[in-house]
Amino acid sequence: MAYDEYLAERIRQYFIQQKLNFYDKAMMGGRVFMLNDKMCCGIHFDKKRQMDLLMARIGETAAEKLKYKKGCHPMGFTGRPMKGYVFIDPEGFDLDEDLLFWLNHCITFNPMANAAKKRKKK
């Protein structure tokens, strides 16, 4: 099953409303939203749990502080959590105010995030 297009559109519309320099693209079987050429947030379909998860890049400090928030848990594809990233279950982003809470944390952290190193073309 693919990621939730409705959730992707909700994120797109908020970024457009905020007049952000972003684009989105397919990645890791889901959709990621790049803000200022840095991964900001995304949607991942969890096959084990059969649900869409919001992936939020909020930084290590915020991730530690917010880890007890409804639906939030460490992000890890390999069983090892990725520092500064969290997954949020649908119960934590279904309401617009909850989704905007997480998106605002992602947007706030983005200027401090490191961009991925560009690969050299052969």
Instruction: Set out the domains of the chain in order of their start, with CATH numbers.
Output: 5-111 (3.90.1150.30)
CB 21 within 8 A of CB 35: yes
Per-residue pLDDT tens digits for 94-111: 999 999 999 999 999 999
Per-residue pLDDT tens digits for 36-76: 999 999 999 888 888 999 999 999 999 999 999 999 998 87
Phi first, then psi, for residue 80 (nearest 5°) are -110, 125
Residue 78 scores a pLDDT above 80: no
Instruction: Name residue 96's amino acid.
Output: D
CA distance 68 to 56: 15
pLDDT of residue 122: 62
Q: Percent of the chain, pLDDT > 90?
A: 71
Widest CA span in the chain: 46
Task: Provide the 8-state DSSP code for 77.
Answer: S
Instruction: Name residue 51's amino acid.
Output: M
Of 115, 17, 5, 100, the residue nearest 56 (C-alpha): 100
Residue 3 scores a pLDDT above 90: no
